[in-house]
Chains A and B, each alone.
Chain A
Amino acid sequence: MKRFAVALFSTLAFATAAHAAEYGKVLLEQSRIGFGYQQMGVSMDGSFKQFDGQLRFDPAAPEAASAVVEVELASIDTGSDEGDEEVAAKTWFNTAAFPKARFESTGVKALGGNSYEVAGKLTIKGTTRDVVVPATFTEQGGTGVFDGTLTIKRGDFSVGEGAWKAFDIVANDVSINFRIAAAAQ
């Protein structure tokens, strides 16, 4: 009995140690994708309520990591119903034709400490651009948490056309901040 208990314990311990190394399943309840921008000198912010992702990340082998994140653009929360409706329109995201924004990693570079650079392709409204996303990674009791902020130019993706094309009212720079939590597997 005692030997059995030891064997079971060591198996469990081994299993946990071996599997804790790789993070995969995205924990949506603990994840968040938000954004910020300037509107006539005022800092505005908002978030997306629906998104999904697939991750493969092993802190011991970061170069082998990969990530895909898809954001449901119609799930935007700009802070007002009027704003939410407006950005679904053709001049903004045109969610009827382009419902999702997508990020797909092409390579991960460890910068030392818990900092990484995730290079990848960001597609919004049919336009794909190469981006480099700075991120930090922390492990908290079996959960891996990626935090980062990426600043893009909305003009690069034709987000805000027509009357919104000028950047004097709504600025060109949009910072996307994220926290993606993933379970060890």
Chain B
Amino acid sequence: MAPNMNTHYTATAKALHWGIAVLIFGMLGLGFYMTGLSLSPTKLQIYSWHKWAGVTIFLLVLFRLAWRIGHRPPELPQHMGAIERFAAHAGHHLLYVLMLAIPLSGWLMSSAKGIQTVWFGVLPLPDLLDKDKALGDLLQTMHLSLNLILIAVLLGHIGAALKHHFFDKDDVLTRMLPRSRP
């Protein structure tokens, strides 16, 4: 393959990266907060928002994947060894898988619990599963487990970005930041 001369991510890739990051951090907080509430109109409202935002993230991630396939990101820095490169690629793949699997498990959980997901109260998503309490509980556990895995991978992801910036002093973090120079 021809050497990749891109030094930065595209503006679209950056917007998707940071937009989705903010949404996911919000969703992690909201998710853990809402499950602890006792039943009230507020709880039902927050659950609905959680589902709507989750479906939105799912669609943004699909778009992001399509964009990623069409736009090669800048190469990893030369100093990285084989194991580091492998870890970076594996981590990024895992993040994409989780960003799709988590909302998917939420949607299926809702279906199995007999509650259809209606995006922003307007667009009904099909129920891919029939009502099944045991399956609903299983998917709930799965949604939680995937989220815990996501948190672990995110900690690694953020740790790696900071290591690149402060220890390796390379451009891995800055090339994803909004560009200040032309």
Using a CB–CB cutoff of 8 Å, the interface residues on chain A facing chain B are 39-45, 79-80, 82-83, 85-86, 163-164, 166, 168-170
* Chain A proximity mask over B74-99: 1 for CB below 8 Å, otherwise 0: 00000000000000000000000000
Minimum CB distance partner of B42 in chain A: A163
List chain B residues, Cβ under 8 A from A82: 39
A80 to B117, CA, bound (A): 16
List chain A residues, Cβ under 8 A from B131: 79
List chain A residues, Cβ under 8 A from B121: 40-42
Q: Is the interface of A mostly helix, strand, loop or mixed?
A: mixed
Using a CB–CB cutoff of 8 Å, the interface residues on chain B facing chain A are 39-42, 44-45, 48, 113-118, 121-122, 131
**B115 near A44: Cβ-Cβ < 8 Å:** yes
Q: Is the interface of B mostly helix, strand, loop or mixed?
A: loop
A164 to B118, CA, bound (A): 21
List chain B residues, Cβ under 8 A from A85: 39
Please name 8 further chain A to chain B contacts, defined as beta carbons within 8 Å, in addition to the given A42-B48, A42-B118, A163-B41, sorted by A numbering. Answer: A42-B116, A44-B114, A79-B115, A83-B39, A85-B39, A164-B41, A170-B41, A170-B44
**A41 near B118: Cβ-Cβ < 8 Å:** yes
**B41 near A166: Cβ-Cβ < 8 Å:** yes
Q: How far is the CB of A86 from the nearest CB of chain B, in Å?
A: 5
List chain A residues, Cβ under 8 A from B114: 44-45, 79
13 inter-chain pairs at a CB distance below 8 angstroms, sorted by A residue, are A40-B44, A40-B45, A41-B121, A42-B118, A43-B116, A44-B115, A82-B39, A85-B39, A86-B39, A164-B41, A168-B41, A169-B44, A170-B44
**A169 near B41: Cβ-Cβ < 8 Å:** yes
A181 to B116, CA, bound (A): 30
List chain A residues, Cβ under 8 A from B117: 42
A40-B48, A79-B113 known; A163-B40 Cβ under 8 A = yes
List chain B residues, Cβ under 8 A from A39: 44
**A41 near B122: Cβ-Cβ < 8 Å:** yes
**B113 near A80: Cβ-Cβ < 8 Å:** yes
What are the 3 A-B residue pairs with the smallest beta carbon separation, nearest first?
Answer: A41-B121, A169-B41, A40-B48
A42 to B116, CA, bound (A): 6
A170 to B45, CA, bound (A): 10
List chain B residues, Cβ under 8 A from A79: 113-115, 131
Q: How far is the CB of A49 from the nearest CB of chain B, in Å?
A: 14
